[in-house]
Structure 1
Amino acid sequence: MKNLAILIPAYNESSTIEKVVNDTKRVIETIPDASVYVYDNNSDDDTAQLAAKAGAIVKHEYVRGKGAVIRRMFREIEAHVYIMIDADDTYPVEAIPEMYHRVVDKKVDMVVGDRLSSTYFQENKRPFHNAGNSIVKFLINHLFDTNIKDILTGYRAFSYRFVKTFPVLSKGFEIETEMSIHAAETNMFVENQVIEYRDRPEGSESKLDTYGDGMRVILKIWNLFRIYHPLAFFGTISGILTIISLITFCLRVFIPYRKTGLVANMPTLVVSMIVLLIAIVSLFSGLILDAIQSQEKMNFEYRLIDAEQRIDE
């Protein structure tokens, strides 16, 4: 098992990959048994060749999407510490030693490279990315009761037990959101590390679709909230439907009945009762799924024990 694995997912990054690999190799010289892995995501240019020329161990993932690449990396590489960094030369490799020592010395499970607390808002030139990062950060920190400073950063360090117990479900750029929520919901030890961010060098293009990927991130948050907090999710739906049902019943059925003694709006009565029934079903669905989720959290603790035993071996 490697001591440190530097993981670099790359797709069409020929203009920067050599520099990132060379800079990374330079800063990890003092860390024993450390290797740099570049996972080429079926690039159309010579990214893989340039990475190999710079001295990286090059592997391939032919299914397009950052989530698919990370799934492959996490399955194949065995290391005590993992550090993931993008291939676009926007992150300072000088932060790698501190990230590494946080995992080794403090037993941190995930170190988040925090761009938003330093230069991101000044350096980033892409429209709506600043607002999108702030919105995603607000939603996750409030819905999942955590304090991660930069949800969408691609610069992170991980412990072995995080990597080997993280179920990669996303195919694309939603993967960072999934990592953050997984850490929050499984009580992983997370620390934020402020890093300097610089915009992409000239000639390097972002693969992120601002609107399409942004919508997928929001949908991922919504879906994971439903999975991890089913009682809150379905209970909220139940409460809204109950209020709608009771207000409709009172205004359209009960008040007119008090005045006339007749049920004048029979269709409204039927619809309001159906809505109330759906609200009850939603509430009990939340209760059942919450019990299942509680059992899953207990099972996850056993999987953590297995991961820690593999480290000792």
Structure 2
Amino acid sequence: MIVTKLSIIIPAYNEEATIHLILDKIKAVNLTSGIEKEVIIVNDCSSDNTENAILRYISQNAALGIKYLKHEHNKGKGAALHTGINNATGEFLIIQDADLEYDPQEYKDLLGPVLNGYADVVYGSRFIGGRPHRILFFWHTIGNKFLTHMLNLFTNLNLTDMETCYKLFNTKLIQSIHLTEKRFGFEPEVTAKISRVENIRIYEVGISYYGRTYQEGKKIGWKDGFRALWCILKFGLFKAA
């Protein structure tokens, strides 16, 4: 598979403390065979100084060619991803959170199955492989594995980490899918709908995980877990469009 550009979609909400750091990490990545990086930041109406931090970074790093988009009202992570996906022009795109929980140096690992002609979609799993993982929340891990198991039950997949941020998609494929979930329901919705694509080739690779606490800015909570379960039933069991 020939890939000349990878679009990197970054949804950002109140990430003034880390946005420049993750952009530095992305800037430092040298992709396989000189693949061009297209960085798309979607500011979901942050209430802190995220916008100023982004604009300052863009002015100092013009060569990176960052596309900056913003919502005038807070809509949720899923809505920010919809905006980024719709504006992507690379053959493939990857989702990157604006915090420091995931390592952009691992883009090359996710691209591997694509470049070797095996995959249309690649998920980075925090539960396989021998990469470093910060030890944090027991119940989050149990909840994640439960939600992943439930989605697998209704989609006949055998994923290990449905809730992972690192998802790499064929851009035309993901742009052809109608996505509706505006918050963290994006994960089960996109996975369920991708699973129904005829002859889809989905792979997983092991990734590291440098998780953060709520004091450090983590945002997902128990309400999002219940929403994810509802979305699994809606899009997995009932196969809503």
TM-score (norm: length of structure 1): 0.67
Task: Map residues 151-300 of structure 1 onto 2, 5 A cutoff.
Answer: 151-187=162-198, 188-200=200-212, 204-209=216-221, 211-228=222-239
Matched with 2:116 is 105
Does 1:49 find its partner at 2:61? no
Higher-Rg structure is 1
The structure that is helix-richer by fraction is: 1
Q: State the alpha-carbon separation in 1 of the partners of residues 48 and 4 from structure 2.
A: 30
Picking from 99, 111, 131, the partner of 1:88 is 99
By how many angstroms is 1:119 displaced? 7.7
Structure 2: unaligned runs, 5 residues or longer: none
Call closer, same or farther: CA 1:202–1:150 in 2, change over 3 Å.
Answer: closer
Matched with 1:71 is 82
Higher relative contact order (CA 8 A, sep 6+): 2
Matched with 2:156 is 145
Cα displacement string for residues 77-108 of structure 1 (whole angstroms, at most 9, x for unaligned residues) = 22211111111110111111232343243252
By how many angstroms is 1:28 displaced? 3.6
What percentage of aligned pairs have identical amino acids?
23
Matched with 1:117 is 128
Q: State the alpha-carbon separation in 2 of the partners of residues 32 and 5 from structure 1.
A: 10
Picking from 32, 37, 42, the partner of 2:40 is 37
Call closer, same or farther: CA 1:39–1:119 in 2, change over 3 Å.
Answer: farther
By how many angstroms is 1:48 displaced? 2.4
Matched with 1:22 is 24
Give the aligned residue type for 2:8.
I
Helix, strand or coil: the match of 2:40? strand
Asked if 2 retains the 8 angstrom alpha-carbon contact of 1:183 and 1:189, the reply is no
Asked if 2 retains the 8 angstrom alpha-carbon contact of 1:16 and 1:204, the reply is no
Alignment coverage as a number of residue pairs: 229
Structure 1: unaligned runs, 5 residues or longer: 230-295, 297-313
Asked if 2 retains the 8 angstrom alpha-carbon contact of 1:13 and 1:204, the reply is no
Give the aligned residue type for 1:46.
N
Cα displacement string for residues 172-229 of structure 1 (whole angstroms, at most 9, x for unaligned residues) = 10101112111222242110010011122795311212x2111101111111134329
By how many angstroms is 1:143 displaced? 1.9
Call closer, same or farther: CA 1:169–1:121 in 2, change over 3 Å.
Answer: farther
Backbone CA RMSD of aligned residues: 2.6
Call closer, same or farther: CA 1:142–1:175 in 2, change over 3 Å.
Answer: same
Q: State the alpha-carbon separation in 1 of the partners of residues 51 and 21 from structure 2.
A: 13
TM-score (norm: length of structure 2): 0.85
By how many angstroms is 1:129 displaced? 0.7
Asked if 1 retains the 8 angstrom alpha-carbon contact of 2:22 and 2:99, the reply is yes
Call closer, same or farther: CA 1:120–1:222 in 2, change over 3 Å.
Answer: farther
Give the aligned residue type for 2:6.
L
